[in-house]
Structure 1
Amino acid sequence: MSTPASSLSAAQRNAVAELLRVSPVADELGRRFAAGGHELHLVGGSVRDALLGRLGDDLDFCTDAHPEDTLRMVDGWADAIWETGREFGTIGVQKNGLRLEITTFRAEAYDGVSRNPVVAYGTNLLDDLRRRDFTINAMAVSLPGHAFTDPYGGLADLARQVVRTPDTPESSFSDDPLRMLRAARFAAKLRFTVEPDVVAAMTAMAADLDRITAERIRDEFTKLLSGADPVRGLRLLVDTGLADRFLPELAGLKLEIDEHAQHKDVYEHTLIVVNNAVRLEGDEGPDFILRMAALMHDVGKPATKAVGRDGRVSFHHHEVVGARLTKHRMRALKYPKDVISSVVELVSLHLRFYGYGRGEWTDSAVRRYVADAGPLLPRLHKLTRSDCTTRNRRKAAALAADYDALEERIARLAAEEDLARVRPDLDGNAIMEILGVPPGPIVGQAWKYLKELRLDKGPLPREEAEAELLRWAREHGHT
């Protein structure tokens, strides 16, 4: 099943040559393993990415050597070694700025009950490739011999841009149900199409995802949403029922009709918003926090739907309900607290802009908008613009002009008042000195009052700020 490199097409040879050119340590490592009587193969995503011209600094290898043998062969050669994956047969190595993961041939399967794989060492390359998730990840290049091994047609599938399993989809997903999510992730990352029999197995076996830990699901979903075409992956999750297992709010949006009657439903609107957010990232993307906020911004609509006497649908306070649902869902998926806080805050704030175009916003309102958004303001700008999905060109242009005006107004006030760091005109020490009080709750209450005053009126002269503080103290019995 091995094909000499000389028989590959020019493009394939160039891809492999480029991989080896930017990774000169690969041959050197291969020679060390050969001298020790062991095989070494560049494998999986590294081969796939090289063929696609997307090779990074992380390289994956497989070998018949067991971890203790691998450690002996890299000792004294590697710049650094880590053994955190040793129980799964993986030894990590750093060499010349590259991260190498060397894994013993293995057969990996679930017992049908536990959430973690049972790992057993394999004995040959072909069996190792057969247990891999998809054919595009089941190719190998031997080192230092450079023989190309592709027993399951991964190269042809790369050309066809399809996601297919080496074994039957049912067997593959039974071994590791997370592979169903991974299929959607590769569709999003590579813009590939998932084969119909794979989709059918994902649909039939969706409930098996419940065997997987929240952390593994979270990591795979984060990669999907951060892909080049996240909407392609999201549709696949909903269509197969996989989303119902860990993100049921997404499919639930299909039940709600957009209040502007410009989209089939809020689900379609949401996917458009996600796409808009991706486009607004520019060269800075992918921004998971922005994309997650775009995905979740309307999840409060099903619970807040109301139909008025005129037949119009409304979703009052859906941003409040949506923020609560978002926090619950992201906690269940074990996202870090700071990531949850940022996404929840964006969902909560995403409607604040509407109404600005009616000319009702004072400078105080603009200051509060900036203060409430804090460091999330650049993302809030992008989320708000992404949320404009109306097909009415005149209305879309008006909304864009209104937001342009708001950003210009924010910039003007920021230049005048340093809006990024709105603080009271008097600090805690000044408050204690003027009121003659020690550190304690009174100082905090006074500080909060002066900050609200600063947001309302802008910067105040020292004398006026002191007078306002004394007036507040008298009214609250603190003098």
Structure 2
Amino acid sequence: MASPESPSVGFTLEPVVLELGRRFVDAGFELSLVGGPVRDLFLGRRSPDLDFTTNATPDETLGVIKGWADAHWEIGRAFGTIGLRKDGFQLEVTTYRAEAYDPESRKPVVAFGRSLVGDLERRDFSMNAMALRLPSLELVDPFGGVQDLHAGVLRTPGTPEDSFSDDPLRMMRAARFASQLKVDVDPEVREAMAAMAGRISIVSAERVRDELVKLVNGASPRVGVDLLVETGIADIVLPEVSALRLEVDEHHRHKDVYQHSLTVLDQAVALETGPDGPVPGPDFVLRFAALLHDIGKPATRRFEPGGAVSFRHHDVVGAKLTKKRMRELRFDNDTIKAVARLVELHMRFYGYGDAGWTDSAVRRYVTDAGPLLDRLHRLTRSDVTTRNQRKADRLSFAYDDLENRIAELAAQEELAAIRPDLDGQQIMEILGIKPGPVVGRAYRFLLDERMESGPASEGEARAKLLEWWAAQPESAEGAGSARLAEDEAGEKGNE
């Protein structure tokens, strides 16, 4: 690419981009590729988005693209945006904006602008405030975006206070870009984030969630999370993570839970697999569980006699806190359940190396993890951050042994699909009962037997079921035993 002083930039764009530019110019309008796609060209990356800006109004944009676009939509028309699809590409064309926000409102008040530079000035960061005029490919960079990209620093086109006042979500975007692009945040931007952190509370939970997902899935999520915590933004959007900064007493009786959690996050990222592996990265569920796995510790910390520190049941408490926070951030139920389940299970492995597990315990571990097993393997391994190499080696060896046992049992018993040896229909036929709660109780009994003793033949399972049934109050024999016990109790009461 040419230097920022050059009137043009030499590289190849998709033909559809240049063709759209010619259509606008032939119609008497301006059109520029803008924002992230231009930034990504300088970074040597292919942008998933193709965003354009123009001096044409939405009605005039529709006049240019109708008959040429394969399809178009007007969902963002009130904000000046027309979307279209052409030759398999999705494009958005937005009228120049001069945008102002009501300080107390979550929604922007849109005013259309008159110039490209004016439009760029209202964008979030200088590296996103660059444009390529089309079809000439003239670079427009009035705020030093190329220079900031080369320096690896995130700055705003105007003052950060004005930028964040316009849209407080930009503070989270700063943390997201720090994670995605591995850039430093300018000190003035960082100071403004800390001073204005409270304004993030007026942003909708859905917008905050989307930025958080992009941050966590970035190349360096630790950097982004740390920026949110240091500036106080996490106090509002992820207060449970901020609370991990427990004070370490003078005897250093426990490690820094916050820094430990960031290290676990780093190590979980390193254990993700390629696209053909069991946990392709970036995997949000694994990463978010790694970040949140210890958020139950502040509420469960106890100083024991003798100076020890305990966090009993922090896994269970942490799972509940995870669900609560993710619901408030409007995550979908499947993602909430997956992350919370990993948090709940992350301590299950400990003790295996000391006491060993029966085959039954191994089966339960696999069954409880279900489709999360490969993520649980990685989370558990990531949770080892001790500097004691002997302890780290012992835990690693123990988990290697557990995984080998899981593999051996899986080869014998298809652990991932463990079911009782009799299904619901067979249970009803054998016991002569109709669908209802009793069938569920019988099913759970047989599942426990399957976990404890491994697979059984149909005859063996039938015998166990009948033995169990004889002791139940609903069966004829069980009911008789129950009446006899009641009679005996009554007789004793009359004595």
TM-score, scaled to structure 2: 0.92
Cα pair distance change 1:263/1:310, threshold 3 Å: closer
Q: Residues 293-308 of structure 1 correspond to what in structure 2 (within 5 A)?
A: 293-308=289-304
- 1:30 is matched with 21
1:44-443 paired onto structure 2 within 5 Å: 44-257=35-248, 264-283=255-274, 284-443=280-439
Shift of 1:90: 1.2
Alpha carbons 1:256, 1:301 under 8 Å: kept: no
Q: How many residues align?
A: 469
Q: Relative to structure 1, is the Cα distance of residues 211 and 39 closer, same or farther in structure 2, using a 3 angstrom cutoff?
A: same
Gaps in structure 1 of 5+ consecutive residues: none
Structure 2 unmatched ranges of 5 or more: 275-279, 476-495
Per the alignment, do residues 117 and 9 of structure 1 end up closer, same or farther by CA in structure 2, a change over 3 Å counting? closer
Distance 1:380 1:261 in 2: 29
Q: Kindly provide the CA deviation profile for residues 237-291 of structure 1, in whole angstroms up to 9, marking residues without a partner as x.
A: 1111010011111111111549x95975100000000000111113221111111
1:151–1:8 Cα change, 3 Å: closer
Specify the code of the residue in structure 1 equivalent to 2:267. Answer: N
Shift of 1:43: 0.4
Alpha-carbon shift at residue 9 of structure 1 (Å): 8.2
- The residue that corresponds to 2:479 in the other structure is none
Q: What is the CA distance between 1:456 and its match in structure 2?
A: 1.1
Higher alpha-carbon deviation: 295-304 or 447-456: 447-456
Q: Distance in 1 between matches of 2:132 and 2:311?
A: 56
SS at match of 2:111: strand
> TM-score under structure 1 normalisation?
0.95
Q: Distance in 2 between matches of 1:79 and 1:399?
A: 58
Q: Among the aligned pairs, what percent are the same residue?
A: 58
Q: Deviations over 1:201-241 (max 9, x none)?
A: 10111111111111111111111111100111111111110
- The CA deviation at 1:84 is 1.9
Mark the CA change 1:119 to 1:161 in structure 2 (over 3 Å): closer, same or farther.
same
Indicate conservation of the 8 Å contact 2:253/2:307, yes or no.
Answer: no
Matched residue of 1:102: which SS? strand
C-alpha contact 2:285 2:338 (8 A) present in aligned 1: yes
Distance (whole Å) between structure 2 residues aligned to residue 55 and residue 105 of structure 1: 24
3-state SS of 1:255 partner:
coil
Asked if the contact 1:110–1:175 (Cα under 8 Å) also holds between the matched residues in 2, the reply is yes
Superimposed CA distance per residue, residues 308-351 of structure 1 (whole angstroms, 9 cap, x where no aligned partner): 11201110100011111111111111111111110000000000
Contact in 1 for aligned 2:4/2:146 (Cα 8 Å): no
Q: What is the DSSP-based 3-state SS (H/G/I as helix, E as strand, rest coil) of the residue aligned with 2:312?
A: coil
Secondary structure (helix, strand or coil) at the match of 2:102 reads coil
Q: What displacement does 1:6 show?
A: 6.6
* Cα root mean square deviation, aligned: 1.8
Worse-superposed segment, 317-326 or 104-113: 104-113
Q: Give distance in 2, aligned partners of 1:362 and 1:448.
A: 20
1:33 match: secondary structure = helix
Secondary structure (helix, strand or coil) at the match of 1:391 reads coil
Aligned-pair CA distance for 1:73: 1.5
- Native 8 Å contact 1:262 1:391 kept in 2: no
Q: Which of these two proteins has the greater Rg computed from alpha carbons?
A: 2
Q: Which amino acid aligns with 1:269?
A: H
Return closer, same or farther for 1:127/1:440 CA change in 2, 3 Å cut-off.
same
Q: Distance in 2 between matches of 1:478 and 1:463?
A: 23
**Aligned mates of 1:268, 1:180 — CA distance in 2:** 22
Partner SS, residue 107 of structure 1: coil
- Runs of 4+ that moved beyond 3 A: 5-10, 260-264
Contact residue 253 and residue 309 of structure 2 kept, 8 A: no
